[in-house]
Amino acid sequence: MRKNNIQSANSNGYRIIAVDDEMGIVDSLSIFLKRSGYDFTGVSDPMEAVERVRNEHFDLMILDFIMTPIHGDQVVEEIRKFNKELYILLLTGHKDLAPPLETIRKLDIQGYCEKSDKFDQLLLLIESGIKSIAQMNEIKRMNQELSDTYEKLEKAYLDSIETLRYTVEAKDPYTKGHSDRVSAYSVLIGQKLGLSEDDIKTLRVGGLFHDIGKIGIPDSILLKEAKLTDDEYSEIKNHPSIGAHILCNAEVFKDIIPIVKHHHERYDGKGYPGRLKSDDIPYLARIATIADTFDAMTSKRTYRDAMPIDFVKEEIARCAGTQFDPELAKVFLDILENHYDEIEKIMKNSQMQK
């Protein structure tokens, strides 16, 4: 069998490969399609065609069905193993010899027509195919632009996070280690619950920023080592609402606002700022509540030592259904009982970062 690998210098940008073991058909297509401005490659060996497609870029393939040593549907089957996008038109000598419609659909063959001395019908199919290819390319280009834009937004989002983090840490040095641990504990609970990646991300960032509202609390109260007065404690209780207000105008932070605003709500409705109860409290905020309380109890403060872990477990169990969502408390107690090494790892990492 012979082959012809002629390519047009006057190309409209789309590359077409034709495969037919009748060299006369390949030559006729070459003349016809080059006149139409296409970059044309003609191949008479179907096995070579598979390799050409594997190693070169083509936009469209015109493929004979009855060939040796393999038929056109077998050629497509091989190509689809590594190339799902190539637009393929099948040529048949007789309509009765065309492959079944089920095969055409299965192999994602975009169209077929009978061979003829005139190529008018084939040209219409090619032009239609090129339009589809152009639309596909435009969609791919737009998707790439959207992907690039998303990456830039993601970077800006992360940069904003770091800026805000530094602001809070400068005001209250304790916040850094605490917020990092609350974030990590929240993620750990979310993972044990099998939450989605989006929810895990929200827990991670929400944990980092749950105390962002402390920026608005006077230093005389925030850094006070002695016991707070009732008025001072009331002032501290404003930090969830302040934090939600700080973040409310930034679209990138909308998902974490429920955590920031409601991580001090109680399951029995006696928390703040909204006195929300049970399922009215956002689910991810209920997770952050447990993580926040656990870290507060297990952290050493200027006015007390860290509480023993056995006492902390008893407190979490005692407050299930009052302060905490009982199901979430059960999950966290299971972590403390059976996966405490993961808790210790978080604590150790926090110590190393100080």
Report the C-alpha gap between 243 and 74 in whole angstroms: 63
Task: With a cut of 60, say whether residue 129 has pLDDT above it.
Answer: yes
Q: Long-range contacts made by residues 250-257, C-beta under 8 angstroms, separation at least 24?
A: 250/160, 252/153, 252/156, 252/157, 252/160, 253/209, 255/198, 255/202, 255/205, 255/206, 256/202, 256/205, 256/206, 256/209
The distance in angstroms from the start CA to the end CA of the chain is 75
Which residue carries 């926090």 as its tokens? 350
Residue 261 annotated as catalytic: no
pLDDT bracket for residue 229 (50, 70, 90): confident
Given this model, what pLDDT does residue 139 score?
81
What count of residues does the chain have? Answer: 354
Which phi and psi angles does 114 have, rounded to 5°? -80, 150
Summarised one tens digit per residue, pLDDT across range 313-329 is: 999 999 999 999 999 99
Q: Which CATH number fits domain 15-142: 3.50.50.60, 3.40.1260.10, 1.20.1420.30, 3.40.50.2300?
A: 3.40.50.2300
Summarised one tens digit per residue, pLDDT across range 289-299 is: 999 999 999 98
Task: With a cut of 80, say whether residue 353 has pLDDT above it.
Answer: no
**DSSP bridge partners of 111:** 89
Q: Of residues 34, 176, 214, 261, which has the active-site annotation? A: 214
User: Average pLDDT of 13-18?
Assistant: 89
Summarised one tens digit per residue, pLDDT across range 170-227 is: 776 666 688 889 999 999 999 999 999 999 999 999 998 898 888 888 888 877 777 8
Establish how many alpha carbons lie within 13 A of residue 275's alpha carbon, considering only the half-sphere containing its beta carbon: 1
Domain regions of the chain by residue span: 15-142, 172-353
The DSSP symbol for 297 reads: H
Report the C-alpha gap between 334 and 85 in whole angstroms: 49
pLDDT bracket for residue 9 (50, 70, 90): very low
What is the helix (H) or strand (E) element at residue 112, kind and residue range? strand 111-114
Report the C-alpha gap between 196 and 190 in whole angstroms: 8
DSSP SS3 for 99? coil
User: Average pLDDT of 53-73?
Assistant: 89
Do domains 15-142 and 172-353 share one topology? The answer is no
Instruction: Please state the CATH superfamily assignment of the domain spanning residues 172-353 in this structure.
Output: Hypothetical protein af1432 (1.10.3210.10)
Q: Residues 6 or more apart from 66 whose CB is under 8 A from it? A: 72, 92, 93, 97
Summarised one tens digit per residue, pLDDT across range 92-118 is: 766 665 666 676 777 778 877 777 767
Task: With a cut of 50, say whether residue 3 has pLDDT above it.
Answer: no
33: its two tokens: 């399609």
Picking from 300, 295, 287, 294, the residue whose alpha carbon sits closest to that of residue 314 is: 294
26: its two tokens: 């390949």
pLDDT bracket for residue 1 (50, 70, 90): very low
**DSSP bridge partners of 88:** 61
Q: Residues 6 or more apart from 45 whose CB is under 8 A from it? A: 1, 3, 21
Establish how many alpha carbons lie within 13 A of residue 118's alpha carbon, considering only the half-sphere containing its beta carbon: 3
Cα–Cα–Cα angle for 73, 77, 83, rounded to 5 degrees: 125
